[in-house]
Structure 1
Amino acid sequence: MAPNNRYPRDGSPQQVGIHYRSLHPGRPGRGSAAWTAAASPPRSSTPRSPASPGTASSETPTSGAPTRPGPGGSCTGSQPGTAGLRIATLDLAAVFTHCTSLAATCSYKRTAKTCYHHHIVPTPDRRICVVVVVVHLQQGVVIVLIQQVVVVVLIQQAGTGVLIATRARPLRRNINDLQASGAQWDLYILGLAAMQRDEPETEKLSYFQISGIHGRPFIPWNGVQAVSGGSGGGYCPHGNVQFPMWHRPYLALFEQVLGGHIQAIAANYTGSRAQEYKTAADNWRAPYWDWAADGGAQLPPVTTQTTMTVNGPGGRVQLPNPLLGYRWQRFPLNTASEYFPTRGDRNCWGWPQTTRWPNGNGNSRPSLANQELSQDDLKAITYNVFTTATTFETMASTGSTGNSFESLHNSVHGAIYAVMAYIEYAAFDPLFMLHHANVDRLIAMWQAIHYNNKVQTRTSRSGALFATAANTPITADSPLKPFYRDTAGNFHTGRTASDIKNFGYSYPEISDWNLSPDALARQVTVSVNRLYGPGGGGGGTSSSRKLKARHAHHNHRRSGCSKRGLTSSAAASPPEGHAEAAHKEYTALVDLERSELPLPCSISVYVNGEFAGKVSVMSMPAAGVMHSTVPLNKALEKLGKSMDVPESRANGTGPATNGTAAPPPPPPAVSPEDREIIQKQLSVEIKSIDGTIFPVSSAPSLKIKVELQHVETPLSEDSLPTVIPVTTGPLAKPIEHSTSY
């Protein structure tokens, strides 16, 4: 057959006009990897062309409906208009030329009647997809089957905002800053609305399907099937050392798909603002909600408004606020048991949209969420993780003893209530990605400080997950299913996901492209101290406020601050001996077995009737030992206890640089009066999400230990406090909380 001259030899997608749209053979779901071209062009907010970033197709739809493959995944496509191509008139050479010109790289095997094309294709939404094109020649008719697998990775090229020369990457920004950004904010709101509204919930890259990876509807995504010995629940590991790194490619997937909608919308702006919006789209990254910073422990006001007004391509436009909640496209979505929400689904409270503390009419009540968020000192707890978690395992998960970012993460989920309180539903609330972007940010900051400890070092055992059997050994090289990292079928691992530069974004505190690891660690430490430390803007306990004043005084006396806020090497060197001031920190260490509790629930801790804090226990996993902490200082100070360590003890002589000074005496043990109030009057209350109080005896595994530490304040901002363990005393039995105190 001679080449068809209607199709140029360069095979550019604009001229040939192929649009890739996912197919889901059989029941609606995620199980199929078969993709084919659509008969109609995509909406502007739904880019699917395999063109390089920034290109768009100009295809005019052909007549006839596309042939959708059945469960076998084959595509005969002999009718005119099938797959958007008049394939009966398109010869093998033209298809071959077109396919081989699509991608940056191409390997293929060709026989007399069949071509196999394996492409790595950069797409407009900044994903890389592997596209396999199988072309059959049967009786003079070309039959095309296209298969596509999503690979979560970001390419470094034009249209992504990544500067190859400097390695600088666009920043994920605080949502409050993004709101004031103009063009990027307009695109974010319009793009998120389009992603929620325009993609059918059966599409693999729809808002619904991406949210469903985390939990419900418990069906395969991207062809990654359930395994024997798994839970049949979601893919996401909680209470597991994989928790932080699993969420990193998950957020990257959401960011890249949403970025594709944003790119498509930006292309519709014309005139003098066209370039502004194109640049804004290239550099857009998903925002975060910093609930730990001063004033951050409340829902971002913009997420509580019912409508939004932004600048669209055609002028000002008002639309329902996509940050308020996700509205199911059909309600109930499906009556089959594996789908939700049905009208009887109590976890969705029977409403056609996600909610936060809903009233009887299904309207969210943000004031109640804010009240819950303010109960826990999220700022102080965040700082405690930075100052006390010295291993990846401790920082990462409630599966290890001590302060962890996962425990903090649980507190925020529980405070927002309703959909966010149930792990299997939580990702449908638009707050989920804002929340998890902040968790990822805190983890990335911790990794920058502990740059020699960025991945797990000890083998652990996994609980049962959708695609992971129970008791599977977990290392830094174990797969993070269902997220592929390359075209050979390899999954991301804790090691490949440990560096945010692999995903093409950064955070305001992390400019790792122009600093050495040590300099970056010091820069990030300055940010941690300023944002969350006792010298970082007020708040905290009275002892921490006193330390703030001392910290500020000594920072004023010292010289050598650089423009980046780092002290010079001379200023950064600590004086002979220890830090100038110290305070005592009491912490309740809480251990429990989840299966004994009504999940989700909270465990509130009281000191002599004074509320100290609570532990949020999520709905998943249903079993396994969990570790968390509750700071006790604020409650003790309300009871009149001083947390200060005498100055003479804090300024004891330590080893000098020449090693001649004597070491300081050991810190004093816990005082008898403090021991008495903690051991005899510490009480707990177990409360399920519906408000039911459960007796402490219903959780025989519940154990609480009280830990005392001395925390010595550093004299320079690029150092974290020195934490000295003093004693840990176990409680013989937790006491039932009573309002009679």
Structure 2
Amino acid sequence: MFLLLSWVGFATLASIPLTVAQSTYPVVGVKSGINIETGETPARRNINDLHMEAGPEWDLLIGALSAMQAANETDPLSYFQIMGIHGQPHMAWSGGGPQDGGSGGYCPHNEVLFGTWHRGYLSLYEQVLVAQAQRIADGYPQSVRREYQEAADRLRVPYWDWAADPNVPPATIPSTVTIRRPVNGTLAAIPVRNPLAGYTYPESAQNGEFGRFSGFGSTKRCTQEGTSYPDSANEAMSQQGLRERVYTSLIRAQNWTEISSTAGGPNSIEGPHGNVHVHAACGNDFLWVETSGFDPLFMLHHCNVDRLLAYWQALNYDHASMEFEYQTHGLFAAPRGTTVTEKTPLAPFDGPDGPLDSEDFISSQGWGYTYEPLRFWDQEPSQLKTAVTRTINELYGPVRQAETTGARGGILSRIGVRAKRDVYRPWQEQEQPTTETEYFAMVEVERSELDLPAVVNLFVRGHHAGTVALLGMPVEGISYDEIPLQRIISPAGLADLDADDLLCALTEDLQIKIMKPDGTSIPLENVPSLKVDVESVDVVLPSSMDELPLFGKPHSRRVQLKVLGLEIGLDVKFPF
């Protein structure tokens, strides 16, 4: 009975007996809403679009998430237990086996498993969310029941596209929201507690009944003195250069290892992902691996990470194979030194036939969802690549030089332009491609030399150039990241220099400040592994929206690291 219900919707999900809920919950992907004749699959949608639309999918999303959060914390399908898989409490989730590895949670950070593990995590969460929505839809008045049942079938986890718009989703701000619910056989618009605004930790967890637990009261955002949500979060997020970083990573990453993990190279999606954890809630619960999963921002954030990885896979369909081998530094279900490959089980996620691995999640196709414009059912891989190329050019790509205010030219110039879709326009199509020189700071550091979590802030002549975010786990291993420097050239007074002199100036004038969450600094001499190279690359701009820039061979210079002088006035605020 349990397996049947888990596949078709859990009509009584919130009240599953404990003896049944202790069984393994197979992750199979949501099967509803898919056209059985064509294969057309519902897309995961932008949370801002759902919120503004305020239709049946929005009503059901709020209702389903509220039901998950209200479920008893002993139920493995409750919000508490599912989101606790990521970090604390450090206990085996249903079917996930006993702890025999590291002291942290199941989640692999700074490991190649990062992308596929979170893809499995999203699929589990999505199944439970949709099952709750389907149960709720069945209770709507007869006059609208079919409409709500169809909306429930096509509902998927929404994403927050923090690269296109770094402002936190407006839907996560108010403490109450209005949705349409059945009342006495009719449909009424009523205010309800907003489950996207936060989550109240169970008293039993705070009392230690599940083991060590750091959450207190409820999830918090921007509670430090002088900060507020969303204003402080939006200010910090706007200064992270996320659009540029995502665009560069999608184009420059050469293989799955590099795009999916900061352990694989500087052009990963995991790198900017860390910045979102640091700044989207001004630190607080969303920063710490132990508690970040409980903030409702988490799944909105990680759905976008999965979306960007799916885009990279579409762009690189001809060489996007998943082959890797390394030794883990220790996870909840994998002791330190365990050899990890694409066939390593992604604990605690099981399918109907046993543990799932990275090969099972090599593509988002087949898991019951897609992202616009990916249409696997009626497009060839080359067509998907063209569609994604146009999409990422429109969302994250260059602006015309004439519209770039006060900045040196180049495909990544962004100074003075707010992150709104109606402001960003692609370059004008041209007959002859042009070449620009772009500049990047390539960062490498051994995590064990830092008191994690920490951030490495880069400045050029006192102007903030970018942040490398290092979350709390793993506590050892080398991390790589890349910071585009194009947007800092004009503010730093370097716009009139030629390419060679500019490379020298960026190298000589780059400064570092490493900070911990309590606001204290980590001396550079304590981090001898930290290396920063400034790289210049000639980039051939595309001649149409269906093409991507071509990056040439980079030229780099090693930075002699200098700590940021206290006498320099900072033009940016940080949560720490």
Q: TM-score, normalised by structure 2?
A: 0.89
Matches of 2:497 and 2:48, distance apart in 1 = 36
**Structure 2 SS opposite 1:543:** coil
Amino acid at match of 1:214: H
Matches of 1:299 and 1:523, distance apart in 2 = 27
Matches of 1:401 and 1:299, distance apart in 2 = 28
- 1:275-674 pair list within 5 angstroms: 275-293=146-164, 296-314=165-183, 315-330=188-203, 333-335=206-208, 338-340=211-213, 345=214, 348=215, 350=216, 352-359=217-224, 365-416=229-280, 417-487=283-353, 489=354, 491-535=355-399, 542-544=408-410, 552-554=427-429, 580-642=433-495, 671=500, 673-674=501-502
The Cα of 1:639 is off from its aligned counterpart by: 2.6
Contact 2:412 2:487 in 1 (8 A): no
Contact 2:451 2:516 in 1 (8 A): yes
Matches of 2:25 and 2:426, distance apart in 1 = 50
The Cα of 1:539 is off from its aligned counterpart by: 6.5
Q: Go from structure 1 to structure 2 and tell me whether the alpha carbon gap of 1:55 and 1:456 turns closer, same or farther (over 3 Å shift).
A: closer
**Structure 1 SS opposite 2:312:** helix
The Cα of 1:55 is off from its aligned counterpart by: 8.9
Amino acid at match of 2:72: P
Q: Go from structure 1 to structure 2 and tell me whether the alpha carbon gap of 1:429 and 1:536 turns closer, same or farther (over 3 Å shift).
A: farther
Amino acid at match of 1:580: P
**Structure 1 SS opposite 2:359:** coil
- Bigger CA radius of gyration: 1
Matches of 2:400 and 2:126, distance apart in 1 = 30
Name which structure has the greater RCO, CA cutoff 8 Å, separation 6+.
Answer: 2
Q: Confirm whether residue 679 of structure 1 aligns to residue 507 of structure 2.
A: yes
Contact 2:440 2:485 in 1 (8 A): yes
Amino acid at match of 1:704: V
Matches of 1:335 and 1:54, distance apart in 2 = 32
- In structure 1, stretches of 5+ residues that fail to align are 1-17, 21-47, 70-130, 132-145, 558-578, 646-669
Q: Which residue of 2 aligns with 1:699?
A: 527
Taking every aligned residue pair, what percent have the same amino acid on both sides? 36
The Cα of 1:305 is off from its aligned counterpart by: 0.6
Matches of 1:251 and 1:54, distance apart in 2 = 16
Q: Which residue of 1 aligns with 2:562?
A: 735
Matches of 1:444 and 1:56, distance apart in 2 = 31
Contact 1:529 1:536 in 2 (8 A): no
**Structure 2 SS opposite 1:444:** helix
Amino acid at match of 2:175: T
CA RMSD of superposed structures (Å): 2.8
Matches of 1:546 and 1:456, distance apart in 2 = 30
Contact 2:29 2:124 in 1 (8 A): no
The Cα of 1:675 is off from its aligned counterpart by: 3.7
**CA displacement 1:284-335 (0-9 Å, x = unmatched):** 0010000111xx1111111011111100122222111100101123266323
Q: Go from structure 1 to structure 2 and tell me whether the alpha carbon gap of 1:449 and 1:163 turns closer, same or farther (over 3 Å shift).
A: same
Contact 1:376 1:613 in 2 (8 A): yes
Q: Go from structure 1 to structure 2 and tell me whether the alpha carbon gap of 1:56 and 1:472 turns closer, same or farther (over 3 Å shift).
A: closer
The Cα of 1:684 is off from its aligned counterpart by: 0.1
Contact 1:685 1:737 in 2 (8 A): yes
Contact 1:604 1:615 in 2 (8 A): yes
Q: Confirm whether residue 265 of structure 1 aligns to residue 136 of structure 2.
A: yes
The Cα of 1:644 is off from its aligned counterpart by: 10
Amino acid at match of 2:305: V
Contact 1:323 1:431 in 2 (8 A): yes
**CA displacement 1:696-738 (0-9 Å, x = unmatched):** 112111111111111111112222100012311122x310111
Matches of 1:238 and 1:366, distance apart in 2 = 27
The Cα of 1:612 is off from its aligned counterpart by: 0.6
The Cα of 1:213 is off from its aligned counterpart by: 0.6
Contact 1:218 1:234 in 2 (8 A): yes
Matches of 2:493 and 2:6, distance apart in 1 = 67
Q: Which residue of 2 aligns with 1:27?
A: none
Amino acid at match of 1:279: E
The Cα of 1:268 is off from its aligned counterpart by: 0.4
Q: Which residue of 2 aligns with 1:78?
A: none
Contact 1:547 1:581 in 2 (8 A): no
The Cα of 1:546 is off from its aligned counterpart by: 9.9
Q: Which residue of 1 aligns with 2:5?
A: 50
Contact 1:522 1:718 in 2 (8 A): yes
Match among 82, 86, 96 for residue 210 of structure 1: 82
The Cα of 1:336 is off from its aligned counterpart by: 5.0
Matches of 1:642 and 1:391, distance apart in 2 = 34
Q: Confirm whether residue 690 of structure 1 aligns to residue 500 of structure 2.
A: no
Matches of 2:344 and 2:496, distance apart in 1 = 44
Match among 12, 17, 29 for residue 154 of structure 1: 29
Match among 65, 69, 88 for residue 196 of structure 1: 69
Q: Go from structure 1 to structure 2 and tell me whether the alpha carbon gap of 1:222 and 1:330 turns closer, same or farther (over 3 Å shift).
A: same
Amino acid at match of 1:370: N
Contact 1:633 1:643 in 2 (8 A): no
Contact 2:72 2:78 in 1 (8 A): yes
The Cα of 1:404 is off from its aligned counterpart by: 0.7
Q: Which residue of 1 aligns with 2:574?
A: none
**CA displacement 1:526-580 (0-9 Å, x = unmatched):** 111111000499779541379999964326x7xxxxxxxxxxxxxxxxxxxxx62
How many matched pairs?
Answer: 547
Q: Go from structure 1 to structure 2 and tell me whether the alpha carbon gap of 1:380 and 1:502 turns closer, same or farther (over 3 Å shift).
A: same
Q: TM-score, normalised by structure 1?
A: 0.70
Matches of 2:270 and 2:22, distance apart in 1 = 37
**Structure 2 SS opposite 1:519:** helix
Q: Go from structure 1 to structure 2 and tell me whether the alpha carbon gap of 1:677 and 1:167 turns closer, same or farther (over 3 Å shift).
A: same
